[in-house]
């Protein structure tokens, strides 16, 4: 469709005229302005809602909201075209078969071997070995090898040695969806462990001997402690309501030596509504400070994040400080339980705070244990009530920790944002389906690529420059402040307003430091080369033998890098005639990243920032729209009504 206008959310005066293309996988908007040809790419799978608004004199507006928090506003001149686009997008954004998803057509030009290697990057057996398992207390169980006991669990599970097949099967029959207690994390220093399951089918009085034996076996696997914590991550009221349906929670009287604890994390429906409310605040047009803070509070989002963190902190403390094992469950044990177990693991084990370790953690607590990615993130058309930002919340918890412990994580914010993007993108096979069983049936590993390999290949972009493996902050357990330091939890504009570049700090400390570190490395190399040359020269002078060094040119080149850096840090100038762009800016990095995975059909597809907004100068333009650039229109109190004049002018 031609002559479509892409509106700028911050200012309705500024709209880009261009052409809209629909392909099998993307919506593409190409600007008409010939020298830039700015392109905006949106994956169909990222589209969360499409809204057709009332036709105006200028055309028919179409509002596209994306799951990665991008909002795109288009105005299409012809109502009929708009309707066609709308209908097509509705269909394209809601595929009904897995085979329609992008990952089945996405081809990053890797051969079969590379693809297999990619899938092998994260190996969970290796991970359990790293924890020190199997050992005297824990063993691998193949009881679920054909998904016969529990179809949402993986085939390989780790259970206490003393838990016989009889106990496991018995316990599984007493648990929702047969998700019996299995090992999530083991602390080899003190034998304490984190296990996870679903709720027991206890109703008001039912009990199950095998289930009780199962918990007993978990306790015995930690000889240092005479009890275990059973943590129900639901609010007490919710758990009690479940009893009426024959489910519920453990009765302390029936289980020997357990301490039972509720931690009130709300359910997926509350979380979905909370995010919705927060996004409405993010979308407000020039909100006042009060609108923003009030809306943020009203959404309850940060309160929920804190509840998840507090649960993780409680468990980490039990394991690290008290040496007590913990069994965690919620209702089905695949949402809140996954959040809480992974936050606790992250706090406990520095390995999970490395890039590789984080991939392993996601693979372990989310992918293998049957977090329902397809339902939660709406990859296929399904029940909208199943959709909920469960993983988004976990990712935000990690970010909040990164803010409090700036040196503790090997990866940076961009890493988290890109993982969030790919949970929804369906470009890689990792997060497809609802369980390992479904993924195996679809032969995901043979037909799609692994995200982890892609991220690993570009890991230089995701490094935190402040991370040092021998730094004090990277060692041991992280101990974040519990209540009452609520002010530690902050709004993450880097995520929820990530496409409004004008709102973010204009200079990135991370990128600056990465550039410095890169230069440092070059300097180290040069120092070595120069040292050698000096030694040679001294030798040759002694021998009265002149050897012209060929390295001279090279060192000159390296020398230039110093001045490059000072130039590179030139921040954005907000005039429109600016042509150069700071090479230390984050979007530049993204472009390089995405350039590595250009597809054969020249679909510049995959990378989040690029597909969303390939124009490097967007940051510049964002702001230039804030200054009333010419037009002879003088801002004064009379023109106060025209709030688009300049953001600064808005009364």
Partner 1 sequence: MEFAELIKTPRADNVVLHRPFYLAVEGTLCLTGHHLIFSSRRQDNAEELWLLHSNIDSIEKRFVGSLGTIIIKCKDLRIIQLDIPGMEECLNIASSIEALSTLDSVTLMYPFFYRPMFEIVEDGWRSFLPDQEFELLSSVTDEWRLSCINKEFCVCPSYPPVVVVPKSIDDEALRKVAMFRHGSRFPVLSYYHKKNGMVMMRSSQPLTGTNGRRCKEDEKLINATLRPGKRGYIIDTRSLNVAQQARAKGGGFEQEAHYPQWRRIHKCIERFNILQESLIKLVEACNDQSHNMDRWLSKLEASNWLTHIKEILTAACLAAQCIDREGASVLVHGTEGTDSTLQVTSLAQIILDPRCRTIRGFESLVVREWLQAGHPFQQRCAQSAYSNSKQKLEAPVFLLFLDCVWQILRQFPCSFEFNEQFLIMLFEHAYASQFGTFLGNNENERSKLKLPQKTMSLWSWVNRSEELSKFQNPLFEANSLVIWPSVAPQSLQLWEGVFLRWNRPSKFLDEAHEEMINIIKYNKELQAKVNALRRQLAEMETDDRMQENL
> Which parts are annotated binding residues for substrate?
267-268, 330-336
Cα of first residue to Cα of last residue in the chain, in angstroms, is: 38
Least Cα distance to 327 among 170, 150, 160, 131 occurs for: 160
**In 32-156, where do the E strands start and end?**
39-43, 47-52, 60-66, 71-76, 138-141
Q: Which two tokens stand for residue 142?
A: 């193949």
Active site residue 330: yes
Alpha-carbon Rg for the chain, nearest whole angstrom, is 28
CA 398 to chain centre: 9
Q: Is 507 in the site for partner 1 (CB under 8 A)?
A: yes
Q: Is 586 in the site for partner 1 (CB under 8 A)?
A: no
Q: How far is the CB of 74 from partner 1 (least distance, A)?
A: 23
Site for partner 1 in 88-127 (CB under 8 A): none
Q: Is 626 in the site for partner 1 (CB under 8 A)?
A: yes
Helices (H), 223-267: 236-243
Q: How far is the CB of 64 from partner 1 (least distance, A)?
A: 21
Q: How far is the CB of 188 from partner 1 (least distance, A)?
A: 26
Part in contact with partner 1 (CB under 8 A); list of ranges 93-101, 127-135, 233-241, 562-570: 562-570
Choosing from 103, 330, 397, 426, the catalytic residue is 330
Part in contact with partner 1 (CB under 8 A); list of ranges 92-100, 203-211, 350-358, 563-571: 563-571
Q: Which of 8, 200, 574, 594 binds partner 1 (CB under 8 A)?
A: 574
- Angstrom distance (rounded) from CA 27 to CA 238: 42
* Coarse DSSP helix, strand, coil percentages of the chain, rounded to the nearest 5 percent: 45, 15, 40
Pair 342, 362: CB distance under 8 Å: yes
Q: Is 546 in the site for partner 1 (CB under 8 A)?
A: yes
- Angstrom distance (rounded) from CA 147 to CA 136: 26
> Whose Cβ is closer to partner 1: residue 414's or residue 437's?
414
Q: How many CB atoms lie within 10 A of CB 236?
A: 12
Part in contact with partner 1 (CB under 8 A); list of ranges 90-98, 281-289, 340-348, 439-447: 281-289
Q: Which of 96, 209, 503, 560 binds partner 1 (CB under 8 A)?
A: 503
Least Cα distance to 31 among 12, 47, 18, 13 occurs for: 18
Q: Which of 91, 166, 443, 517 binds partner 1 (CB under 8 A)?
A: 517
Q: Which of 32, 155, 251, 629 binds partner 1 (CB under 8 A)?
A: 629
Helices (H), 426-572: 436-442, 444-447, 451-457, 493-496, 509-542, 552-568
Least Cα distance to 429 among 363, 344, 335 occurs for: 363
> Whose Cβ is closer to partner 1: residue 264's or residue 323's?
264
- Angstrom distance (rounded) from CA 140 to CA 155: 10
Q: How far is the CB of 622 from partner 1 (least distance, A)?
A: 9
Binding-site entries:
267-268, 330-336
**Which x/- pattern over 471-500 shows residues binding partner 1 (rule: CB under 8 A)?**
xxx-------x-xxxxxxxxx-x---x--x
Q: Is 580 in the site for partner 1 (CB under 8 A)?
A: no
Part in contact with partner 1 (CB under 8 A); list of ranges 22-30, 191-199, 375-383, 532-540: 532-540
Q: Is 297 in the site for partner 1 (CB under 8 A)?
A: yes
- Angstrom distance (rounded) from CA 383 to CA 104: 23
Q: Which two tokens stand for residue 577?
A: 């005639």
> Whose Cβ is closer to partner 1: residue 49's or residue 538's?
538
Q: Which of 291, 441, 446, 564 binds partner 1 (CB under 8 A)?
A: 291
**In 299-450, where do the E strands start and end?**
326-329
Q: How far is the CB of 483 from partner 1 (least distance, A)?
A: 7
Q: How far is the CB of 639 from partner 1 (least distance, A)?
A: 9
Q: Is 405 in the site for partner 1 (CB under 8 A)?
A: yes
Q: Is 576 in the site for partner 1 (CB under 8 A)?
A: no
Applying CB under 8 A, what is the total number of residues that bind partner 1?
89
Part in contact with partner 1 (CB under 8 A); list of ranges 145-153, 268-276, 302-310, 387-395: 302-310
Residue found by looking up tokens 């909920």 in the block: 388
Q: Is 39 helix (H, G, I), strand (E, B) or coil?
A: strand
Q: Catalytic amino acids?
A: 330
């Amino acid at each position: 469709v031609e002559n479509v206008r892409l509106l700028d959310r911050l200012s309705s005066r500024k709209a880009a005229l261009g052409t809209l293309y629909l392909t099998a996988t993307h919506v593409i908007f190409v600007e008409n302005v010939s020298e830039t040809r700015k392109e905006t790419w949106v994956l169909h799978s990222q589209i969360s809602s499409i809204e057709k608004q009332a036709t105006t004199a200028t055309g028919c507006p179409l509002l596209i909201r994306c799951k990665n928090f991008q909002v795109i506003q288009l105005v299409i001149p012809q109502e009929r075209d708009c309707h066609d686009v709308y209908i097509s997008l509705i269909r394209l954004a809601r595929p009904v078969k897995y085979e329609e998803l992008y990952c089945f057509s996405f081809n990053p030009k890797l051969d079969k071997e590379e693809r297999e290697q990619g899938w092998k990057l994260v190996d969970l057996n290796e991970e359990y070995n790293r924890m020190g398992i199997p050992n005297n207390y824990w063993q691998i169980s193949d009881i679920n090898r054909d998904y016969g006991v529990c179809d949402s669990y993986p085939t390989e599970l780790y259970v206490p040695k003393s838990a016989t097949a009889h106990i496991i099967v018995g316990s599984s029959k007493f648990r929702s969806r047969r998700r019996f207690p299995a090992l999530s994390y083991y602390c080899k220093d003190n034998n304490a462990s984190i296990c996870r399951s679903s709720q027991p089918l206890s109703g008001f009085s039912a009990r199950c001997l095998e289930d009780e034996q199962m918990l007993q076996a978990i306790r015995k696997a930690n000889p240092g402690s005479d009890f275990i914590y059973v943590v129900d991550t639901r609010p007490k009221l919710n758990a009690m309501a479940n009893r009426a349906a024959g489910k519920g929670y453990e009765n302390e009287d029936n289980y020997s030596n357990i301490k039972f604890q509720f931690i009130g994390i709300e359910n997926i429906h509350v979380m979905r509504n909370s995010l919705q409310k927060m996004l409405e605040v993010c979308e407000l047009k020039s909100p006042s400070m009060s609108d923003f803070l009030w809306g943020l509070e009203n959404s309850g989002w940060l309160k929920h994040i804190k509840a998840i963190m507090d649960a993780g902190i409680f468990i980490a403390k039990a394991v690290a400080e008290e040496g007590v094992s913990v069994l965690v469950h919620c209702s089905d044990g695949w949402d809140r339980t996954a959040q809480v177990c992974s936050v606790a693991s992250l706090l406990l084990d520095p390995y999970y705070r490395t890039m590789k370790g984080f991939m392993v953690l996601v693979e372990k607590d989310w992918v293998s244990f049957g977090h329902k990615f397809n339902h939660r993130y709406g990859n296929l058309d399904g029940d909208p009530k199943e959709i909920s930002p469960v993983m988004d919340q976990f990712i935000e918890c990690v970010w909040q920790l990164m803010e409090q412990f700036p040196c503790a994580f090997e990866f940076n914010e961009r890493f988290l944002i890109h993982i969030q993007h790919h949970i929804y993108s369906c470009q890689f096979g990792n997060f497809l389906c609802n369980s390992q069983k479904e993924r195996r049936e679809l032969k995901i590993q043979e037909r799609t690529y692994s995200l982890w390999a892609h991220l690993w290949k570009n890991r230089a972009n995701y490094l935190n420059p402040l991370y040092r493996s021998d730094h004090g902050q990277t060692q041991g357990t992280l101990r974040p402040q519990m209540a009452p330091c609520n002010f530690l939890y902050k709004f993450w504009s880097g995520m929820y307003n990530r496409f409004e570049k004008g709102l973010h700090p204009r200079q990135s400390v991370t990128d600056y430091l990465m550039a410095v570190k890169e230069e440092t490395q070059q300097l180290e190399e040069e120092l070595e080369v120069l040292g050698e040359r000096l030694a040679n020269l001294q030798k040759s002078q002694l021998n009265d033998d002149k050897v012209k060094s060929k390295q001279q040119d090279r060192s000159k080149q390296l020398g230039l890098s110093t001045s490059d850096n000072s130039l590179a840090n030139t921040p954005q100038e907000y005039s429109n005639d600016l042509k150069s762009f700071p090479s230390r800016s984050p979007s530049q990095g993204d472009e390089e990243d995405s350039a590595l995975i250009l597809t054969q059909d020249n679909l510049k597809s995959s990378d989040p920032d690029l597909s969303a907004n390939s124009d490097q100068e967007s940051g510049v333009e964002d702001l230039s729209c804030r200054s009333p650039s010419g037009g002879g229109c003088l801002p004064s109190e009379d023109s106060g009504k025209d709030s688009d004049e300049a953001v600064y002018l808005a009364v």
